[in-house]
Amino acid sequence: MIAACARGSVTPRQPVRALAFDRSIVLALVVSRLVVLAAAVLAEAVTGRNPALTSGDEGPILRSLTSWDGWWYLGIVRDGYHAAPLVNGYHDYAFFPLYPLLVRALSFPWPQFAGLVAVVLSNILFVAALVLLVRLGRVVLGDERASRGAILLAISPFAAVFSMAYSESLFLVLSLAAFLALERNRRPLGGLLLGLAAFTRLQGAILTLPLWLVLFLRDGRRLRLSQAWLLAGPLAGAAFLGFVALLTGSAGAYGGAQGAWGRLGAGLSPAGGSIIQAFSPYQAALLVTLLFAVFLLVYLRPDRIPVPYALVPIISLGLLLSSGLLESVGRYVSSAFPNAWLLAGRRAAWFRRGWPVLSVVLLGLVSLQMFRGYFVP
């Protein structure tokens, strides 16, 4: 795996091979998932957990993999959405519906296994996302860098979230599939996939801009009616916000639900969430993650990543910073898939050999702290 990450770059736009995976990617995926499982076992059986940490399923290992937001998603799976707050002013309609709808449909014959279904679904979707990342990367950047990027995403320090009862794996699959569809000029399909992504996470609607740029550049920098298929993204996001407004009787209910989590906008100070209020080791780790992501963006031009893809991590970080909260910065960085290509483009030999090892170690440490309840995914 480490040797695979140390290979040289190739010329972009090489012919796409039929095989989407190679053994190095499979090895990276297996190693990373074993590290996540080991962290869950350690958190539950050895180190102890934060007593305040909630879980959507109390089964072994599932207790960790359905913790944090997993409790909310599985609550929606079981009971749907509620107009009234469930816990301390927190609302379940802060979470978009496609992932819990899929879990509910798949677990309908066995509702008692919804937690297991949610975790298995996330893991299967993550495998699919890595396949799509390779295929899209081979179209955009070439075979070697596409494979290396998939390896680095699989072992990224925050990749445990792709095995948890979270919507990240689904969102990543839909985002990658939408870009790949447009690269193949399948515009109605791309619009549909974008709409589904926006029905999974609000960030999906914001992907409309980079996806439109793919079509705009393909059309010779001209506006064409077929580009309107991408309106499916904003419309899907607006549809869910409209549902929340009808459910609660308030047009600002969704914004209020986000505010309860401290996402109050740039420059504000939510209780317990501002790095200005308490610069703890935890906040320092978040800030380091942010600075690392910004450092990667410095190399966008030398890496020659096409502008639409360069916008994805920029928009993702911009959205995070505009919320005024850094807690989930690692998850945002991991979900912005071109970041994996940026990492794969580092040419320094020490980085190519050292980063995969360090990344696996960080994956284990971060996962352990997540499952113990002391690091927010």
Supply the pLDDT for residue 263: 67
Q: What confidence score (pLDDT) does residue 321 get? A: 81
Neighbouring residues of 271: CB distance < 8 A, sequence distance ≥ 6: 262
DSSP label of 66: T
Structural domain for 241, as ranges:
2-372
Q: Is residue 299 included in any domain, yes or no?
A: yes
Of 227, 222, 223, the C-alpha closest to 211 is: 227
pLDDT score of 2: 39
Q: How many folded domains does the chain comprise?
A: 1
Residue type, 334: S
How far out from the chain centre does Cα 248 lie?
28
Q: Is the pLDDT of residue 282 over 90?
A: no
pLDDT at residue 6 tops 50:
no
219: three-class secondary structure by DSSP: coil
Token reading at 156: 């990224």
pLDDT of residue 259: 80
Burial of 23 per CB tally in 10 Å (0-12, 13-18, 19+): exposed
What percentage of the chain carries pLDDT values higher than 90? Answer: 69
pLDDT tens-digit series, residues 70-114: 999 999 999 999 999 998 889 999 999 999 999 999 999 999 999
**Cα 264 from Cα 247, distance rounded (Å):** 22
Q: Which residues have a Cβ under 8 Å from the Cβ of 220 and sit 6 or more positions away?
A: none
Q: What is the mean pLDDT of residues 7-34?
A: 66
Residue type (1 letter), 287: L
Mean residue pLDDT across the chain: 88
Tell me the HSE value of 193 on the side-chain side, using a 13 A CA sphere: 20
User: Higher confidence at residue 303 or residue 370?
Assistant: 370
Closest CA to 6 of 198, 211, 111, 147: 147
pLDDT at 264: 57
Predicted TM-score (pTM) of this structure = 0.89
pLDDT, position 75: 96
CB neighbour class for 368 (10 Å; exposed up to 12, middle 13-18, buried from 19): buried
**Residue at 300 is within a domain:** yes
More confident residue, 39 or 142: 39
Backbone phi, then psi, for 90, in 5-degree steps? -90, 140
Which of 13-27, 214-228, 318-332 tops mean pLDDT? 214-228
Highest mean pLDDT among 162-166, 203-207, 259-263, 312-316: 162-166
Average pLDDT over residues 106-128: 96
- Mean pLDDT of the 363-376 span: 95
Q: How far is CA 147 from the centre of its chain?
A: 19
Whether residue 377 is contained in a domain is answered as no
